[in-house]
Every structure is written in structure tokens, then in C-alpha cells.
Structure 1
Amino acid sequence: MVVLNGFEVVKEALIINSEHSADRPRFPIYEKLGYVGDTKGIILAHYGSSWKEQRRFTLTTLRNFGMGKKSLEERVTEEAQCLCSEFKSQKDQFDPNLLINNAISNLICSFAFGDQLEYSNENVQRLLLLFNSALKAKSGLLGQILNEIPFLTHIPWLIDPVMQPQYELIAFLKKIILEHQKTWDPNYTRDFIDAYLVEMEKMKEDGSSSFNETNLLMTTYDLFSAGSETTSTTLRWALMFMLLYPDVQSKVQEEIDRVIGRDRKPTMEDVLQMPYTNAVIHEVQRCGDIVPLSMPHMTYRDMEIKGFLIPKGTTIITNLSSVLKDHEVWERPLQFYPKHFLDEKGKFVKREAFMPFSAGKRACLGEQIARMELFLFFTTFLQQLTFEIPNNQPRPREDPIYALTLSPQPYNIRVVPRV
């Protein structure tokens, strides 16, 4: 295993040598779920024709369902408005975690499963509970040990506690897919699962096709896991930083009032006129640093980085924390400092070392949707509400909880509607 640190090194590996570093190593505990051979969905699939087919299809389907289009933007805005209403309905202080998770999960559910679920719906609560349990189990100490010492996965009393939440989540998704198959109409595509069934039907005579029921299950699993946890965690960081830095919150609200006002709903066109808000969102992502080690890569062929040979088949850890907090790149790497993304005139500046979505061939395929969700939710929040630390609560801690992702310590908020 080779760990890559610092912006220049990671850039050379992921961008300049993007294909050389595009493979994935084995994940023994995931193989228990069916991530084997060419049936690995997208996130864990080896680099090759199956992965390319699945990624290309998923990106095309995302676009067809509105990625980068007005229709999806309107759905995100509607969900953000509903979440603000939920915040306002809380009588006193509350933990926003579950409400944010529900809102983001609603969006991915509507795309993947064609179902927008109410906050109180038992199915969405069950799905969220299973997903959170599965994430904790596979990213905990035991899950990591089992990945590194694969023969231990054959010992039932060791593997069962890790795998049971995963099995239940997979069973839940299988049930949804089965219901789709029963009601499927090839002339009417409701969601991602329907689109995948159409593709399976088209390719059923092609023996080399990677479109099959296992890949449908695994790709749906990938979409839900990648599309919910990361965005909801980033929004929780955003609210926490607004509690900790009320002067930043006030400046964002001033810009919202000036560009959007209090009555009109935010749109993605507004981002071009809101450099400070855009900088704050980017700084939340940089400081929150929610996927610090990204997913492990593996060299697809021999690769040379800064004069060091990394042979084909070597596992690579890209330390994104070392990029997002590189002392050679950022003025105040360990502080929340929105000016990292502003020039002397207050205009927004793109930074090459901004890699929260990773980079290269394996960059997050939902990056465009995530950017849209973060901007529309964040601006909707601060257009309608001011967030405060409740009187009887301590100042939230900035040190994170680590479990594959870095998430904020639990905190309560108090909301004050802006009139």
C-alpha cells in the first residue's frame, strides 16, 4: 500500500495519471454482498469495460432525469422549502441531523425509486436506519480488521454483526426492485430502476453485457449510499459553522437579501452573483473534509510519481485531507476562512487544490447534483432563517467523528425566522 500526501503528489496521481490510478483493490466484506467479478456496481468495480458501461449509463440517466436541468433544480428547491418548514415547526432547540438526512434521502429516492417519501413515512425511516447502521458497521474497527484479514470473514460470530445491517439494506432494495419489475412498463420510465430495466431488456441477447440484476442492485445501492450521506453531512457542517461564525452567517444573509431578496426562491443562476456565499459553501466543504481518505485506488498499470515507481496492482490511499489542508496551498489551512476562495476584489476564485469530490477517472459522478443541492439548500436556509446556539447549550465542537466520513459532533440548533 502507498499513501499519497499533498496537492502536487495527488494531482500527479489522479489527474495527470488518471487512468494509471483508476483501478480498485479487493474489499472482502463487500464481496459478501455480491461485489464480485463484474457485478460490482460503480464505486467498488475494477477499472474496465463493465465499470465504464455502468458509469456511462448512470451519468446519461442522471442527465435524462434532470441533472443540470431546471426540472431537477425545482425538485431540490421544493425539498429545501419543505425542510425549512420542518425547521420552523420545531418549537424549541433540536438536532437537525435526521431532518436533513430525510430531505436529501427524499431527493435520491425520487430519482432512484420514483418515490418522494414524507418525513414521517415508515419506509424512509427504515431505509435511513438501515443505511446508518450499515455505514457504522462496515466502517468500524471490526469491519476494517475483516477487510485486512479476509479469512476471518469465514467466522460467523465475527462477520455476522458487520454484515447483518448490510443484508437487511440489500433485502430492502431487492424488495423495491421486485416491485418495479412487477409494475414495469417499457414505454414509461419512472426512475433509475425503470431505466436500468429498459437497458437490461435491450442488452439481454448480448452475452458480454454487464447489465444484469446483480449490477442493478449494486448500482442502486451505490447511488443511494453516495447520494445521501455525503451531502447531508456537508449541510450539517454548514449549519454548525454558521453557529460558530455568526458574522459569516450575517454576510451571507446580506448577499442573499441583495441578490435574491426575501420573496423569490433561489436558483442556480444566482450563484454567479453571489461570490461570498459560494466561497462559504466551498470553505465548508474544505474544512468539513468529509471523505478524508477518499476510496482506495489501485494502480491499473505501472505508474511513476515524483520519481517513485508504483507497480501495477498496488493499493493507493489518496489523502484528500493533506490536499484540502495543504500548508503550501492554503493561507489558513486549519481555520474556517472563506477568503480562501475570494480575490482582493471579493470575486470568487476557483482553487485547483479543492478536491472534496476527489479527481480524475474516479471522481464522484454525482458532483454536479451535490453542488446544486448544497447551494440551493444553504441559500434557502439562510434566506428564511437565522441559526443560533441555544442558550443552555455549549459551543459546538469542531473536531469530527470519523466513520468512513468525517461528520460533526451532535449539536442542537435554535432557528429564528427572518421576517
Structure 2
Amino acid sequence: MVAIQEPLSALLAILLLLYLMKRWWSHQRYPPGPLSLPIIGGLWRIRFGIGLNERTINKMSKQYGNVYTLWLGDMPIVLLSGFETVKEGLIGHSEELSGKGSSPYVTFIKRGKGITFSNGDLWKQQRRFAVVTMRKLGTGRKSMESQIEVDAQKLVEIFACEKGQPFDPALPIINSVSNVTCNMLFGHRFPLEDENFKELVDSIEFITKFGGSLGHILFELFPWIMKRLPGPHMKVLERTKIMLSLGKKEILKHKEELSSHEPQDFIDYYLLHIEKKKDPTSTFDEDSLDDCISDLFIAGTHVSALFMQWAILLLTNRPDIQDKIIKEIDDVLGSSSICYEDHKQLPYTNAVFHEIMRYRFVVFMGIGRQTTKDVNIGRYFIPKETVVIPDMYDIFYDPQHWETPEEFNPNHFLDKDGNFITRKEFLLFGAGARACLGEHMGRMQHFLFLTSLLKAFHLQLPPGVKELSEETVVGMFLTPKPHKICAVPRESSS
């Protein structure tokens, strides 16, 4: 028996050695980073080291440099930190970083169609179509601005119904912001009390909060096990199906009505495009349309709504800055209505809005890319099909580029004469081939919604509350903690 055990032990030792050598050799191809342990990779550095928060990646870059590798099990993720490095990656190597990185979790809940998680010709065709169609629907034009103004005014009316009493602004904000996207996609809006809308919002919130959680990390490490176990990851799949089912209902309704009118919204244009493209190899079909709807809805709703929530929270905590905005609006515009072009005449207001976006960047990390070919960034070689994530948060807190990065300071966007200045470091909407295609619509929304609210209200702390928490809740996005504010009509506060 002993004679058998000894050769077996030797064989196991050799196999283990070969495994470790192969692992070491594969790791040598990538930039250095935290020590990668079997199974968990470099995640120990977060879980038992620096902790998971919005500064996690920044702390690691200080130790490992501006280009480093964090291993998620056996999957390498290369992170880029620092403005110059991120700029080199996203702009200097835009084509090489135009792929979209996948993972076991993404593969589990998405089909790889649509815009956000597609690649190659499919992605190029879907994105090009979305850009052209959004332009047809008025993005960047007065027609889109008029639609946003309608929803901004509805938000003012909802706030007014609270009569200056404490309330949670989150759901009204999400409803009003999402209705801009709904009108573009579906050709109609959802009332605040609509059950389908509430279910959609709950689904998006659950999916985004699951991102970055322990359950998410376990799924990425052990997908073959997690797929067979109950848990929140299964609820994410259910919630994803709820989102897609809403899209399918809208598509069916549009198919029944399309023959009776000219195209009015994104779904109309897409269905017409499917009819024209009879080629069986076309990437345009109803599944892709459904995925496009969910991609555009999350991008056009959740991120903009989070900006609005943070903006209202930060301004409520800073009545002095809020008063300066109100004074500038009153001095420049008086009682006249606001249009987007007015941002050029309101430098302080514009600077505050940009500082809100810098100070509370809502995405935990930049959007992951995948290399479409081998590429060199800085002095490091990065192989083809590697996931690359730019640390956008680090850019906005880099003391080399911002005078007081840890403070909320509108002067970051003003010159010595009080004129608004653009900053090349302000890469809020990304850069390169995967830059946000809704940037102009997002900027228009932010400006019109907030100025409309500040023309109507003073945003104040509830009685007995000294300050609202500005700590973030870390998930796929950085959300504020639940809170209440008072929207006091300006006439009654004078």
C-alpha cells in the first residue's frame, strides 16, 4: 500500500508544480498587481486589505502603479489609473479598446445583443443605428428640449404637492427623468403610480445593487455552482426578464399600430429597419431591439436620476452655494423661462453642476472594455481579449489636476474672472469608441431639471436635521443613502 501511495504523492506534487508554473507563466504576460491566490485571485487585497469603497481602485494604483492587473479568480482585469494613462487607453487606443468585456455573471443575465454588451459588427451596427435614430428623434435639438421641459415642469409640480414638508425625492426624480427616455423609446410616459413603472424601477434598482456584492463576486468565481443554487443572483435573472418583458409588450403594441402612422419613437424606427433588412445575416431583430431598449433605459434613466439625487442632496447641504445659483438665475433671466442655451449665460450655475458630477461621480469604476487585439499601454503589454477598466473616479480626485479634490469647490470650473472653463480631465461621459452616446441629452436633462427646481424652491434640511449624509452606498453605481428634504416654495420663504 505504501509502495502505491509514494508514486501517487509524487505524481500529485508534479501536477501541482506544473499547474503553478503554468499559472505563473500566464500571469507574466500581464502588468503586475496584487498577489493572485488560487481560486480567489487578487480579491483578498480588497476583502482583507483596503476594503470595498469608491477609493479602492485609487488606493491600489498608489501601490501598484497606473497600469496593474487584478485577478478575479483566473480572469485578469487590467486597471488604468491617472488621467494621462486613461486618456492614452481610451483615446490613443480607442479601436483596440472598443470591445466589451464579458464575465460569467454578464453572460448569465444578458444575451450579448443590443448595445452595451455586444461586440464586433453587431455592436457597430446597433450603436450606429441608435446614434442616427436618436438624432432623428431630436437629440440635441429644440424638439427634445421641449420634451425635457415638460418632464421638468411635472417634477416641479410633484415637489410642490409636498407643500414644503419632508419627503424622499428619489422616486419622483426617477419617474421624471425616466419619462424623458420612455418618451424617446416608447412614445409615451408613465404616471408615477403606474404599477409597471414601479416594477421596472424596482428591477433596475435590484440589478444595480447586486453588482459588486458578495453574491456577485461568488458568481464570478464559481459560476458552475452558483447557477444551481438559489439566491439573489437568481432574483437578478427574474428581474432582468421583467425588464425584457416590458420591452416585448411595447414592441408588440408598436407592431400592431405602426402601419397606421409614421415612425414616432425608437421602437417604430427599429421595426421599420427590421422590415427593410431582409438579409438573414442582419443583426437587427426583435431580441436585439429588446436588449437595446433595456440598455438605453438603464443608461438614460438610472445614471441621470442618480446625478439628480446627488445634486439635490449636495445643494441642500450647501445653502450658500444654492443661494448663489438662485441669485445668478434671477439676475440673468428674471422671470423668463429657461432653455438649455442659457447655460452659457450662467457660468456659476454651470460650474456647480459640473462640480456635482466630479465630486460624486456615480459609476463605481469606468465601464469595462475588452481589447480587440494586443496593445501596449505605457510600458506594459496587454494581450488580446483582456478586460480593461479605466478608473474614472481617480481622475476626478487627482490632486495633480484639481486644486482641492476632496472638497466640493465650483471654482474647479471657473477662471479668476468667474467665467466657466472646460476641463480636459472631465471625462464624465467617457471617451473613444465606447463613449456615452446620450451625452448631449444627459447634459440637457441635468441643466433643465435642476434650474427648474431652483427657480421654484429653496431646498432645505428637514426640521431637526443638521446635515444629510454624503456617504455612498457601493454597488454597480454609487448611490446616496435614503434621505428626505424639504422643497420650500421660494415665494413663501422670502
Q: TM-score band (shorter)?
A: over 0.9
Query: What one-letter code is carried by the residue in structure 2 that aligns with 1:118?
Result: P
1:163 maps to what in 2? 237
Deviation at 1:153, TM superposition (A): 4.5
Moved more, 305-314 or 268-277: 305-314
Deviation at 1:79, TM superposition (A): 0.9
Query: What one-letter code is carried by the residue in structure 2 that aligns with 1:114?
Result: G
Deviation at 1:322, TM superposition (A): 0.7
Q: What root-mean-square deviation, in Å, do the aligned CA atoms of Structure 1 and Structure 2 show? A: 1.5
- TM-score, length basis structure 1: 0.95
One of 311, 325, 329 as aligned partner of 1:252:
325
Query: What one-letter code is carried by the residue in structure 1 that aligns with 2:247?
Result: L
Deviation at 1:134, TM superposition (A): 2.7
1:194 aligns with 2:268: yes
Query: What one-letter code is carried by the residue in structure 1 that aligns with 2:297?
Result: F
1:134 aligns with 2:241: no
1:5 aligns with 2:78: no
Deviations along 1:204-244, whole A, 9 cap, x unmatched?
2x133210111111111101011100001001111111111
Deviations along 1:242-286, whole A, 9 cap, x unmatched?
111111101111110012213x22101101111111100100000
CA contact (8 A) 1:143 1:162 kept: no
Alignment of 1:338-353 (within 5 A): 338-353=410-425
1:178 maps to what in 2? 252
Deviations along 1:359-378, whole A, 9 cap, x unmatched?
11111111110000000011
**What is the CA–CA distance in structure 2 between the aligned matches of 1:155 and 1:317, rounded to whole Å?**
29
2:459 maps to what in 1? 387
CA gap of 1:351–1:394, structure 2 versus 1, over 3 A, is same
Alignment of 1:143-292 (within 5 A): 143-158=216-231, 159-185=233-259, 187-204=261-278, 206-262=279-335, 264-292=336-364
**What is the CA–CA distance in structure 1 between the aligned matches of 2:409 and 2:153, rounded to whole Å?**
28
2:35 maps to what in 1? none
Alignment of 1:18-417 (within 5 A): 18-36=94-112, 40-46=113-119, 48-91=120-163, 92-158=165-231, 159-185=233-259, 187-204=261-278, 206-262=279-335, 264-417=336-489
**What is the CA–CA distance in structure 2 between the aligned matches of 1:186 and 1:223, rounded to whole Å?**
26
CA contact (8 A) 2:137 2:144 kept: yes
Query: What one-letter code is carried by the residue in structure 2 that aligns with 1:61?
Result: T
Query: What one-letter code is carried by the residue in structure 2 that aligns with 1:27?
Result: S
CA contact (8 A) 1:94 1:412 kept: yes
**What is the CA–CA distance in structure 2 between the aligned matches of 1:26 and 1:382, rounded to whole Å?**
42
CA contact (8 A) 2:218 2:226 kept: no
Greater relative contact order structure (CA < 8 Å, 6+ sep): 1
**What is the CA–CA distance in structure 2 between the aligned matches of 1:61 and 1:141, rounded to whole Å?**
39
Query: What one-letter code is carried by the residue in structure 1 that aligns with 2:240?
Result: Q
% same residue:
36
Query: What one-letter code is carried by the residue in structure 1 that aligns with 2:130?
Result: T
Moved more, 166-175 or 243-252: 166-175
CA contact (8 A) 1:84 1:381 kept: yes
CA contact (8 A) 2:358 2:396 kept: yes
**What is the CA–CA distance in structure 2 between the aligned matches of 1:115 and 1:138, rounded to whole Å?**
30
CA contact (8 A) 2:364 2:475 kept: no
CA contact (8 A) 1:142 1:162 kept: no
Deviation at 1:298, TM superposition (A): 1.2
CA contact (8 A) 2:365 2:391 kept: yes
CA gap of 1:122–1:415, structure 2 versus 1, over 3 A, is same
CA contact (8 A) 2:138 2:144 kept: yes
- Local SS of the residue matching 1:241: helix
CA gap of 1:195–1:147, structure 2 versus 1, over 3 A, is farther
- Local SS of the residue matching 1:386: strand
- Local SS of the residue matching 1:407: strand
Deviations along 1:296-330, whole A, 9 cap, x unmatched?
11111121112211121111111101111111111
CA contact (8 A) 1:5 1:322 kept: yes
Deviation at 1:182, TM superposition (A): 2.4
Query: What one-letter code is carried by the residue in structure 1 that aligns with 2:90?
Result: L
Moved more, 161-170 or 405-414: 161-170
**What is the CA–CA distance in structure 2 between the aligned matches of 1:252 and 1:34, rounded to whole Å?**
43
CA contact (8 A) 1:134 1:169 kept: no
Deviations along 1:330-351, whole A, 9 cap, x unmatched?
1111111000000011111111
Moved more, 296-305 or 361-370: 296-305
Query: What one-letter code is carried by the residue in structure 1 that aligns with 2:382?
Result: I
CA gap of 1:199–1:153, structure 2 versus 1, over 3 A, is farther
- TM-score, length basis structure 2: 0.81
**What is the CA–CA distance in structure 2 between the aligned matches of 1:186 and 1:279, rounded to whole Å?**
47
Query: What one-letter code is carried by the residue in structure 1 that aligns with 2:488?
Result: V
- Local SS of the residue matching 1:184: helix
Deviation at 1:139, TM superposition (A): 4.6
Q: Which runs of 5+ in 2 are unaligned?
A: 1-76
CA contact (8 A) 1:34 1:214 kept: no
Deviations along 1:116-167, whole A, 9 cap, x unmatched?
1222222322222222223233453212331343323431424423312112
Q: Which runs of 5+ in 1 are unaligned?
A: none
Q: Which has the larger radius of gyration?
A: 2
